[in-house]
Amino acid sequence: MSESSSNKHFPVSWEELHRNAKALAWRLIDKEPWKGIVAVTRGGLVPAAIIARELELRLIDTVCVSSYDHQQQREAMVLKGTEAAAADEGAGWLIIDDLVDTGKTAIIVRKMLPKAHFATIYAKPAGRPLVDSFITEVSQDTWIHFPWDIELQFSQPIAKKHRGA
């Protein structure tokens, strides 16, 4: 889905992202003793840092998968895998991402680390079955604007946007 084809826009503030990442940490704290976190870059970096702090985890690795430019999703490309977590198929590891959308990235990361626990802040219906834990579900036609991608500016009321006024 591209941003331009989306009817719904959901801006996320830094405070909201922090609160939701902390809520995700609460969900994960009793799951098992975690070996570490694998953050899916770039979107998973900030939530992973918050969750690592809350769970007192120091071992953080990354999986680098590129599937978006600003405007739309495209074919996913693996730019960097992980060796430490892959040694035992991800058993005992947390995979953290900001969002599961269509599931293209999640499928790739799941193949790399099939025994890891995959957790995201946001989940859309198409990708939701691919993650083990998430905090908020949004509709498939919603474009989430993360705080690192937006600046403060005037926004039209939803009713005006919806009617095209």
Asked if 98 is an active-site residue, the reply is yes
- Contact partners, residue 125, CB within 8 Å, separation at least 6: 137, 139, 140
Which residue do the tokens 């498939």 mark? 140
Q: Which two tokens stand for residue 132?
A: 């083990």
Asked if 101 is an active-site residue, the reply is yes
Are 24 and 48 contacting, i.e. CB atoms less than 8 angstroms apart? no
Catalytic residue among 30, 61, 97, 149: 97
Catalytic residue among 30, 61, 98, 149: 98
Catalytic residue among 30, 61, 101, 141: 101
CA–CA distance, 164 with 134 (Å, rounded to integer): 33
- Contact partners, residue 59, CB within 8 Å, separation at least 6: 35, 36, 37, 84
Provide the angle, in degrees to the nearest 10, between the axes of the packed helices 45-55 and 14-28: 50
Which of the residues are catalytic? 97-98, 101
